């Protein structure tokens, strides 16, 4: 699935608000009639977070005889900010959550002058001047195996905070373009087998503070060592710049 999350309250279905799952289930009910279905997403996303590749598992009591026709009809009835890219049959052993191997997130941002409002659904503008080269050095510090409890909101006592980040880098944005985008924009790219709650946004918030000169590279190094700082990190970057870009499986 692909979706633009700007008007939605995340993937998971919730009462009284519009979510990706809720709109998908409403569409399935229309397309399949009274057929019972169950939808399982590959994870949760925060409100306003988007996805270019979000795997979702669909359980049915009756087999769909023509997947191509179903996909076309499904897309025809989905809202314009949600799209089904492809569909394939899997066996009963497959689990869309636990069988994922690598996830990649992208965080798009610009800094300095305020950008055109039309860019807001997929990009964050940091109004301050930032030391981008220092932020690039800071991003590299997160790569590898580290202790990430400080990069998790509402941490619990029994969670595993020793995680490995496969890629962590800031590069110039050459992925998306539009005539209302700022002349220069950037993307923070991060890959791992799994992420803690708000981990990517907390990392991005920390890099933003680094670029403003509020913290140092040494602070980041200490934050990745167990018990080295005794307070939570104060800034979670806005959600609307965050995109789940890819989820990889071994099928």
Print pLDDT tens along the chain (251 aa): 999 999 999 999 998 999 999 999 999 999 998 778 899 999 989 999 999 999 999 999 888 899 999 999 999 999 999 999 999 999 989 999 999 999 999 999 999 999 999 999 999 999 999 999 999 999 999 999 999 999 998 888 888 999 999 999 999 999 999 999 999 999 999 999 999 999 999 999 999 999 999 999 999 999 999 877 666 678 999 999 999 999 999 86
Residue 120 in domain = yes
Gyration radius from the chain CA atoms: 20
Instruction: Determine the pLDDT at residue 232.
Output: 64
Residue 94 in domain = no
Instruction: Give the Å distances, CA to CA, from 186 to 134, 242, 243.
Output: 14, 12, 13
Total domain count, the chain: 2
Enter the pTM of the model. 0.94
237 & 118 share domain: yes
77 & 117 share domain: no
Domain that holds residue 26: 2-83
Q: Is 117 exposed, middle or buried (0-12, 13-18, 19+ CB in 10 A)?
A: exposed
Three-state secondary structure call for residue 163: strand
153 & 209 share domain: yes
163 & 239 share domain: yes
Strands 242-249 and 50-51: parallel
């Amino acid at each position: 699935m692909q979706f633009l999350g700007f008007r939605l309250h995340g993937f998971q279905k919730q009462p009284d608000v519009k979510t990706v799952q809720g709109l998908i289930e409403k569409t399935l009910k229309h397309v399949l009639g009274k057929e019972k279905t169950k939808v399982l997403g590959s994870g949760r996303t925060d409100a306003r977070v988007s996805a270019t590749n979000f795997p979702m598992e669909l359980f049915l009591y009756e087999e769909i005889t023509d997947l191509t026709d179903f996909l076309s009809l499904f897309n025809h009835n989905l809202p314009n900010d949600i799209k089904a890219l492809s569909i394939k049959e899997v066996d009963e052993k497959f689990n869309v959550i636990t069988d994922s191997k690598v996830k990649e997130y992208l965080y798009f941002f610009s800094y300095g002058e305020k950008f055109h409002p039309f860019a807001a659904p997929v990009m964050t503008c940091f109004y301050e001047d930032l030391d981008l080269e220092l932020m690039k050095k800071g991003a590299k510090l997160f790569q590898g195996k580290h202790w990430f409890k400080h990069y998790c909101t509402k941490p619990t006592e029994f969670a595993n905070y020793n995680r490995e980040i496969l890629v962590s880098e800031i590069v110039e944005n050459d992925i998306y373009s539009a005539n209302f985008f700022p002349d220069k924009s950037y993307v923070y790219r991060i890959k791992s087998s799994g992420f803690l709650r708000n981990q990517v946004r907390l990392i991005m918030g920390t890099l933003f503070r680094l670029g403003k000169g509020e913290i140092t590279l040494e602070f980041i190094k200490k934050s990745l060592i167990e018990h080295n700082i005794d307070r939570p990190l104060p800034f979670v970057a806005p959600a609307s710049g965050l995109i789940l870009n890819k989820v990889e499986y071994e099928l």
